[in-house]
Amino acid sequence: MLALQGVSKSYPEYRLPVLDPIDLEIESGQFVSLIGPSGCGKSTLCNLIAGLEQPDGGTIMLNGRPIQGSAGNVGYMPQKDLLLPWRTLLDNLILGSEVRRQDKKNARSEALVWLKRLGLDGFSSHYPQQLSGGMRQRAALIRTILFGQDTLLLDEPFGALDALTRRQMQEWLLALWQETRHTVLFITHDIEEAMLLSDRIIVLSQRPGKIVKDVSVPFPRPRHPDILLRKEAIKLKKELLELLSAEVKDELYDSSVLEKQVL
């Protein structure tokens, strides 16, 4: 279980804190999405959990152990795939085990199994520059999983993809998670994506970020994208959109754009 208690963060450059004290609990094996206006501190929260930055206050516990300020406890995947251009696909996938000084041979054969499952084994000795955006993103996710921790932080992993590829990736992730049951904190701007994938959706307010809504997504699993056409889904979407556009009404978004999305 991932548990945040009173986690806050501010940067000296600005008077307004980035995160107001945040309390959040994520059960093991739960898929939780985090949505909120741009700049509200979603990535900052990720960085704190990943141990890239120290919170000003509060504790972050993973399975009962405090992990604030220490890295390597969770798998972290940023929006960019960050595959190293001088490494082949296979060698990119074993980066985590190399950092952890594990046996390279084992790691390679484990990575190959994954590539086979994805039908990517023909590309194992290709360089990232030779792969499509969707393939690279999948590879980045596999690298995150192969890092070997059962908690994953995915910070807008599909944000840079086109709509079609994005939908494919969502279905792929859905099927994958169904098997592995990682604990996932998934950051997105896409409400439909959040509804399709998660057990719970958390809405952050504008900066300073605090939790303004925590809803569970009632649809049964395994899920199919068609559930988004259901009445309850449309109702939930509308509710979330209203919340979000209330948060961002002043500056960032043109709320008429958001409203159009409802239909």
Partner 1 sequence: MDKYRSQGLSLSGIRRNFPAFILLILVLLLWEIVVKGLKVPLWLLPAPSQVGKALWQTRHLLLQHTFTTVLETTAGFGLAVAAGILTGLLMGIFPSVKRLFYPFLIISQTIPLIAVAPLLILWLGYGLLPKIITVILVCYFPVTISLLEGLEASDPDYTRLLRSMGASRWQILRLVRWPHALPSLFAGLKIAATYSVMGAVIGEWLGASSGLGVYLTNSSHSFLTDRVFAAIFTITVLSFVYFLVISLLGRLALPWLKIEK
- Residue 108 in the binding site for partner 1 (CB under 8 A): no
- Residue 78 in the binding site for partner 1 (CB under 8 A): yes
- Residue 10 in the binding site for ligand ATP (CB under 6 A): no
Q: Answer with the entry of partner 1, Mg ion, ligand ATP, none that 84 interacts with (C-beta below 5 to 8 A by kind).
A: partner 1
- Residue 106 in the binding site for partner 1 (CB under 8 A): no
């709320």: which residue's tokens? 255
CB of 52 to partner 1, least distance (A): 6
CA distance 32 to 202: 7
- Residue 173 in the binding site for partner 1 (CB under 8 A): no
Applying CB under 6 A, which part among 37-45, 127-135, 174-182, 211-219 lies near ligand ATP? 37-45
CA distance 8 to 59: 9
CB of 256 to partner 1, least distance (A): 34
CB of 228 to partner 1, least distance (A): 32
DSSP 210: -
CA distance 231 to 6: 36
CA distance 171 to 166: 9
- Residue 47 in the binding site for Mg ion (CB under 5 A): no
Amino acid at position 116, single letter: K
- Residue 35 in the binding site for ligand ATP (CB under 6 A): no
CA distance 204 to 36: 5
Among 7, 18, 173, 217, contact with ligand ATP (rule: CB under 6 A): 18
Among 28, 38, 106, 178, contact with ligand ATP (rule: CB under 6 A): 38
Other CB atoms within 10 Å distance of the CB of residue 42: 24
Which is closer to ligand ATP, CB of 41 or CB of 128? 41
Element of type H or E holding 2:
strand 2-9
Q: What angle do CA 133, 138, 143 make, to 5 degrees?
A: 125
- Residue 188 in the binding site for Mg ion (CB under 5 A): no
DSSP 158: T
Q: Answer with the entry of Mg ion, partner 1, ligand ATP, none that 127 interacts with (C-beta below 5 to 8 A by kind).
A: partner 1
Asked if residues 216 and 202 have their Cβ atoms less than 8 Å apart, the reply is no
CB of 42 to Mg ion, least distance (A): 5
CB of 154 to partner 1, least distance (A): 12
Compute the Cα dihedral for 138, 144, 150, 154 and give only its sign: negative
Q: Which of residues 192-211 bind ligand ATP (CB under 6 A)?
A: 207
Among 17, 51, 58, 134, contact with partner 1 (rule: CB under 8 A): 51
